Structure 1
Amino acid sequence: MSTMTTIAGQLDAKGLKVAIVATRFNDFIVDRLVGGALDYLERHGLASENITLVRIPGAFEMPLICKKLAASGKYDGILALGAVIRGGTPHFEYVCAEATKGIAHCMLEHSTPIGFGLLTCDNIEQAIERAGSKAGNKGVEAAAAMLETIRVMEQL
């Protein structure tokens, strides 16, 4: 019987350098995502001096900033945090789709793990739930996914 090789990422952030890209639009939600992510990363060993927080206008700008950070080679991972809340026009669909595609493309192009913490909610109540109340804190979940992906990538 052969032994299966298993590759799994450890949730240890010691020695890593991480950039957090956070939108100013809907900052009352995004600040809670950032706070949760920072708490998580620091509790898992990431030194605060190894964290760069980049504030940007909104979700549509996320792919460009993530690409610039990834291309710099300075960061082991990037965390993209924002909140888009549906309004009365199709603008929501365009912003969400393009931000999502752009971030995914950046991650693939640069082989840099990006934690996807862009909330796409139908209303403010859903956003509040995902920023630390009923549905947990999606900033924490995105940070955990980024961290685990960094550690898996190191083993491949």
Structure 2
Amino acid sequence: MDEAKTEKQLYEICENRTKKHALNALALLKGKTFLSEFAGKGRRQGFENEGQIKPPFEKKTKKIGLVVSEYNSDITKEMEKIVLAHSKKLNVEITKIISVSGVLDAPLAVKSLLKEKEIQGVVVLGAVIQGETAHDRVVAFTCASKVSDLSLEFNKPVGFGVIGPGISKENAVKRIKSYAKHSVESVAKMLNALEE
């Protein structure tokens, strides 16, 4: 090759051209129409280094936070265990856990986590059992509204794993697994959707 003056230059040119071809092929697979700057223009390329190629099929681990209400801890602690185990199957890492007294305290903890750059989403866990008044509805609806607003404010998903309102303790126990799994699954799915 007349472009390379040394064996080392020849190696670098070949490596860089291979990277350019690989990047163009990946771009085409993704449906993009713009390729490397001089692709298809009949110009030899190779001295420009494209850097390391990161395969698109390598899914990065998502980093999320977890907020757990201590009220009805017999339920929420079980939910926490399920979320921690299930998150591993979803390629999600729980990097920080904040315990709060009750569900109404969750929005402030959620906001604190969403402010952190490395936290990509948050899961909220709680159980609001029906009492003799409508207090359970006020608590659950207020929390749901506030964390939904925070999700939009920070443009990060928040999984709402709060069982209730209007539920008995017995029925809340029956829903531990489904609410826990769904809350972390919703965050993982949303993060994947936002990534595409």
Task: Report TM bin, short chain.
Answer: 0.7 to 0.9
In the alignment, which residue of structure 2 is the partner of 1:124?
A: 169
1:108 is aligned, of 146, 152, 157, to 152
Q: Bigger CA drift: 67-76 or 16-25?
A: 67-76
5+ residue gaps, structure 2, are 1-30, 32-57
In the alignment, which residue of structure 2 is the partner of 1:8?
A: none
Q: How far did residue 42 of structure 1 move? A: 1.3
Q: Secondary structure at the match of 2:61?
A: coil
The alignment status of 1:152 with 2:193, answered yes or no, reads yes
Q: Secondary structure at the match of 2:160?
A: strand
The percent identity for this pair of structures is 22
Separation (CA, whole Å) in 2 of partners of 1:81 and 1:13: 26
Q: Count residues in correspondence.
A: 139
2:139 is aligned, of 92, 95, 108, to 95
Q: Secondary structure at the match of 2:133?
A: coil
Q: Summarize the Cα distance change of 1:110–1:64 in structure 2 as closer, same or farther, 3 Å threshold.
A: same
* Equivalent pair of 2:100/2:106 in contact (CA under 8 Å): yes
Runs of 4+ in 1 over 2 A off after TM superposition: 12-15, 43-47
5+ residue gaps, structure 1, are 6-11
Q: Which has the higher contact order (CA 8 A, sep 6+)?
A: 1
Larger radius of gyration: 2
Q: Summarize the Cα distance change of 1:93–1:32 in structure 2 as closer, same or farther, 3 Å threshold.
A: same
Q: Deviations over 1:26-46 (max 9, x none)?
A: 010011111111111112333
Q: Which amino acid aligns with 2:180?
A: G
Q: How far did residue 72 of structure 1 move? A: 2.1
Q: Bigger CA drift: 52-61 or 69-78?
A: 69-78
